[in-house]
Each structure stands twice: as C-alpha cells, then as structure tokens.
Structure 1
Amino acid sequence: MTARLVNVVDVEATCWQGSPPPGQVSEIIEIGLTVVDLVARERLAKHRILVRPAVSAVSGFCTELTGLTQSEVDGGVSFADACATLVAEHDGRKRGWASWGDYDRKQFTRQCRATGVDYPFGNRHTNAKAVFAGEGRQVGMARALDIVGLPLEGRHHRGDDDSWNIAALVLHMVERGSWS
C-alpha cells in the first residue's frame, strides 16, 4: 500500500564553474520541500530552509545559477538545525521522500557523514527521474515538465520552486499509474 504523504525534496548547494577552490566543498545552502498527498492527488505545502554553509562560499556562478547570495545564506540555519527541522516538522524519518535524480540523496548522505549529523530521512526514497525515465524519458526536470505539458512555476534552480515542480511531475506519474 502506498503511503498517503510524501516529501518531495530539492536541494541547492555551493557550486563553481569547474573545480571548487582549495578547502571548499559542495554544501547544501537551500532545501526545498513540497508535501504531496498521493491519495487526494494534490500539493499541500511548499517549504524553504536556507542553510548557512560551514566552510564554503557562494560563488558568483552559484548566485547566477540559483539567485542565492552569500549574505542571504549567511542568514540561514546550520546544516544540523536544518536536518532537525526536516525530522521534527516534516516527519523526515517516517515519511517517504522523493527527488529528481539521486543527487539530493547522495548530497545529504555525504554531508551528514562529513559533519556527523544524523541523516534526516528514512530509507524510503524514490528517484522520480528514474520513474519518469521508466516511461521512456531520461531528461531534466524542466524538460520533463515541457514533455507532459506542465508549466515551470517559479525560478528553476531554487529549492522550493523546484520541489513544487517535481511534485507536479510526481502527481502526473500518479495519474498515469507509474508511481508506486
């Protein structure tokens, strides 16, 4: 039996054009989360958690891509606090979750290991991109929206907007019977 609620998660992380500068690593700077009711077939709520990077700076390339600035993320919470919020406010360990591709899951795993923070999710992760590809299409989120005739809402490469759009794709797959 399919769980009723799923968290659709999209993260943005520090990034560079090319290799990171010495001493810097990819760190989550924004977590977007949309709660989806798979039974009612609707997006219930969109959330955004800004995360203050511990060792890396937001590059000009990263700002151009995401719109996030160093001063904006400096006002965010620590990664540990963000993970605690996912558990306490979004049932992170109990509720299944999905992302577009496996990057988000791997980034959480890497960063939790590197920082000693408990992983905020349970084992029920669904790679929505792989489910969509099972319908014959291995494409990015924006292209997937275009293929199925759904609008790109908000700004691409913003965690909350991307999670909202991925949630629309999840609901499309639910309607088609390819989501389990």
Structure 2
Amino acid sequence: MDQQENSKLLEAARCLNAVETICVKKELSKKLTSQPFSYLLVLDFEATCWSKEDDFKAPNEVIECPCVLYHVETNRIVSEFQLYVRPVENPILSEFCMKLTGIRQSQVDGGFPLDVSLMLFKKWLEEMRKRFALSYDIYSSAENKCIFATWSDWDLGVCLKRESQRKRITLPEMFTTWIDVRAIYCSHYLRKPKGLYGALQELGLEFVGREHCGLDDARNTAKLIGAMLADGVLLERTPSF
C-alpha cells in the first residue's frame, strides 16, 4: 500500500470518527522527567586568591557567601541570600582577587568571620525550611526535598571543607552533600564547556551580571539548571568523597 492510499484510508477513518488524534506537547514531555529534589540551594562561594605570578600563596578563605533558592517545578528563584565574609588568616585582599571578583577590601572588612557568617547563613536556611516546608534530609520521604547545587565540587568539597577544618568549625550534615552541576552537564552533553559562561553559551543562554560575583554566578547557575531540566537532565547528587 503506497503513501497516497494510506492518506485516503486515514481520511476516511477520521470521517467515521475511527481515529483519535493525540497531541503530545513538548512541555508535557519535559515534566515527565521525575526529579528527586523539589528545591535547590544554588551556591557559589568567592574566596581569597592570588595570580599565578604572585610569589605569595595561601589557602583560600571564603569572602562571599551567596545562595539562591531555586524551585524546580516553576523554574524560578524564590529567595536569595548574600553576605561578605571577613578573612582572618590573610585579611588583606590581593589586587588580583579584587579585580577578579569585584569585591572591595571595605566590604570584607565590614563582614563577619566565617564562623559567624555560617551561623547567619544557617539562620536563613532555617527560615527557608519553615517558609517552604523544605526537608534537608535527602533520604527522607518528604515531598519538598532540598539539596545544595554548585558549579563543580570546589565550593563545598574543597574550599569550605578545608577552611572549616583549619578553623575547627563543625559543619551541618547538609553541607556534605550536593549536586555537581558541571559534572552532570559534561556527562549529559558529552562535552566540557569553558566554565559556567561557556555552558550557558552552548545552550543558547546569556550570562547576566558580572562573572565571579558570587551572587550573579549563583543566579546564572540556576538559569543553566533550568535549561538542563528542559533537556531532560536528571539532577542526581554527587557521590560523597
């Protein structure tokens, strides 16, 4: 039976109401991808740093703590947090660091040290938990499970982990588990982008704001996550290490 005969039979069947046409919207197919988390705490620390040419080198200290609460289902940021943190091991920022991050010496001088900053951050996290009925226990059966999401493992797996160990700061359990957005991006798209900026470009998105401003980086990471979800990416947590 050729294509023309097929078309005639299909048209006859439609006239007899023997054919049901089902329209599958692209948006619906996207929603069918079941995500394990309802909310994401998208975080991007900025820290003390020095240029490759600088003779002085020291361990990183967090100088900006920004985080946005991202709602997966609606693909939007529902709350934001930001504060500047005062470094105490090396309190004077390098010229390279200030140029890279846009953070001024006066901003960190007016901030709190890491232990107090984390207390304020945890206070905000508790407010978000109550406001949106969140569960930070990723193993629970709660509906609104929430987890950190970062562009790479550096923020929580390297920077904060090492600094808290040096300063003998005990971190809550939730700070030891997160989603590595970069690793999932590379695995899904089978390519390694040139940073967050490059990943956004590859998906046809524009970076809004200033690169290496922690809050802008967090906002743009959330935007990237939205595009990845639309492509059917499953946001699984990074295995502990």
Same fold (TM over 0.5): yes
SS in 2 for 1:119: coil
Match of 1:3 in 2: 37
The answer to whether structure 1 residue 89 and structure 2 residue 124 are counterparts is yes
Deviates further, 34-43 or 7-16? 34-43
| Structure 1 unaligned blocks of 5 or more | none
Match of 1:163 in 2: 218
| Structure 2 unaligned blocks of 5 or more | 1-34, 130-134, 137-145, 236-241
After TM superposition, the structure 1 = structure 2 runs for residues 1-180 of structure 1, keeping only pairs within 5 Å, are 2-18=36-52, 21=56, 24-56=58-90, 57-91=92-126, 94=136, 95-105=146-156, 106-120=158-172, 122=174, 123-134=176-187, 135-139=189-193, 140-180=195-235
Deviates further, 28-37 or 92-101? 92-101
SS in 1 for 2:78: strand
Q: Separation in 2 of the partners of 1:108 and 1:137? A: 28
Aligned length: 179
The one-letter code matched in structure 2 to 1:127 is: D
Q: CA contact under 8 A between 2:86 and 2:112: conserved in structure 1?
A: yes
Q: CA contact under 8 A between 2:81 and 2:124: conserved in structure 1?
A: no
| CA pair 75-121 structure 1, distance change in 2 beyond 3 A | farther
Q: Separation in 2 of the partners of 1:179 and 1:154? A: 27
Following TM superposition, by how much is the alpha carbon of 1:127 offset from its aligned partner in structure 2, in angstroms? 0.4
Q: Separation in 1 of the partners of 2:149 and 2:181? A: 6
Q: Separation in 2 of the partners of 1:41 and 1:118? A: 33
Match of 2:9 in 1: none
Kindly indicate whether structure 1 or structure 2 has the higher relative contact order, using CA contacts under 8 Å at least 6 residues apart: 1
| CA pair 167-155 structure 1, distance change in 2 beyond 3 A | same
Following TM superposition, by how much is the alpha carbon of 1:45 offset from its aligned partner in structure 2, in angstroms? 2.4
| TM-score (normalizing by structure 2) | 0.69
| CA pair 113-20 structure 1, distance change in 2 beyond 3 A | farther
Q: Separation in 2 of the partners of 1:150 and 1:51? A: 31
| CA pair 120-142 structure 1, distance change in 2 beyond 3 A | farther
| CA pair 81-3 structure 1, distance change in 2 beyond 3 A | same
Q: Separation in 1 of the partners of 2:123 and 2:37? A: 19
Match of 2:14 in 1: none
The one-letter code matched in structure 1 to 2:153 is: D
Larger Rg: 2
SS in 1 for 2:67: strand
Percentage of identical aligned residues:
27
Following TM superposition, by how much is the alpha carbon of 1:55 offset from its aligned partner in structure 2, in angstroms? 1.4
Report which of the two has the higher share of strand.
1
RMSD of aligned C-alpha atoms? 1.9
